[in-house]
Amino acid sequence: MESNKIMFLSLIIFLSACTSQNGSPGQEMTDDYMNIKTLQTSYSPDKRCHFTIKEHGTDSLYSYTQLLLNFKTTGSGVYSVRGINKDLKARWKDNSTIIIETRKEYISDQKWPQVQSFSDIVTIEYIEK
């Protein structure tokens, strides 16, 4: 009985340590320590999913800019380039297509042509200037 109380208290301490500064467990921290900046969020016309463009880091050596796609139950990185202050532009073409405008000279670590979550499929079109 005593060991159950100890386990319960340990779980409460663990969960409180996992709570972000604004008090919501699992919510992304976007404070200065993490150096994450959200540049754009856009929902598909049917509101089924949305993408977010974020910058991670503060300098050109150890930073990146990434487009993330979120479905109802899951999400995925779609496109990322090294560095911050990139002029990435993205928009929905229709309910299942995202157009990303980028530059040929950017070094990309992730560049998916299509992302799928169960029966939901989103195609990515790239315009490289």
Residues 20 and 65 in one domain: no
Query: How many domains are there within the chain?
Result: 2
Residues 55 and 19 in one domain: no
Q: Would you give the DSSP letter of residue 25?
A: B
pLDDT for 93: 98
Residues 51 and 84 in one domain: yes
Residues 56 and 94 in one domain: yes
Find the Cα–Cα–Cα–Cα dihedral 39, 44, 49, 53, rounded to 10°. -20
Domain of 107, in residue numbers: 35-128
Q: Which residues are CB-neighbours of 128 under 8 A, at least 6 positions away?
A: 102, 103, 104
pLDDT for 33: 55
Residues 46 and 12 in one domain: no
Largest CA distance in the chain: 67
Q: Give per-residue pLDDT as tens, 75-88.
A: 999 999 999 999 99
pLDDT for 60: 66
Residues 103 and 68 in one domain: yes
Residues 18 and 41 in one domain: no
Residues 18 and 44 in one domain: no
pTM above 0.85, yes or no: no
Length of the chain: 129
What average pLDDT is seen over the chain?
Answer: 81
10-residue stretch averages of pLDDT, the chain, 129 residues long? 41 36 40 78 97 89 93 95 94 98 96 96 97
Residues 86 and 99 in one domain: yes
Residues 58 and 103 in one domain: yes
Residues 43 and 92 in one domain: yes
Residues 1 and 59 in one domain: no
